[in-house]
Amino acid sequence: MQVTMIVNGDEVTREIEARLLLVHFLRDVLGLTGTHWGCDTSNCGTCVVWIDGRPVKSCTVLAAMAGGHEVSTVESLARGGELDPVQRGFMECHGLQCGFCTPGMMMTARALLNENPDPSPDEIREAISGQICRCTGYATIVRSVRWAAAYEAGDQAAADAVAEPEPGSIAEPVAGGAQ
């Protein structure tokens, strides 16, 4: 069957099998490998993309179902050579370790900030609750989203404060040893 959709601002039309999942269409057909594929069961959330601006787990959506819609992947976050504040927040606050869950986390975080520009830590945790990170313990991910919110609000002092872990927190480096 033929499917046409807008992906990261560009119209694409391809011949596909009707059973092809959106995650495989993005990765294997379009070569957009920023969207990761983890489980095929919607448990891990590494494959989150947006359809018409709403986050969805692309391992549970057929590519044919996205026909006629606008799909955005993690590759769409950076604009004009500038990283999105969410991407910068993940860098500033060490919101990633292995990086496998990061694209899905970033897409979910960006969607949250688009709806709620000043989320509380609990609201951030709620937003990312459908995603699994096996490395960070989530504290640095929450700090990364808080950094992005403060940065977008023009409050560099607050962003800087968020970037510094609280003394004694799990995110604070251990003196003389690895974190």
Overall pTM > 0.85: yes
**Hey, is 2 helix, strand or coil?**
strand
Architecture per CATH, 85-163: Orthogonal Bundle (1.10)
Residue ranges per structural domain of the chain: 2-76, 85-163
For residue range 37-47, list pLDDT tens digits in order: 988 788 899 99
Q: Classify domain 2-76 at the CATH topology level.
A: Ubiquitin-like (UB roll) (3.10.20)
* Residues whose CB is less than 8 angstroms from the CB of residue 111 and which lie 6 or more positions away in sequence, other chains included: 50, 53, 54, 55, 127
Q: Could you read off the pLDDT of 94-144 as tens digits, one per residue?
A: 998 899 999 999 999 999 999 999 999 999 999 999 999 988 889 999 999
Kindly report the three-state secondary structure assignment for every residue of 8-45: CCEEEEEECCCCCEHHHHHHHHCCCCCCCCCCCCCCCC
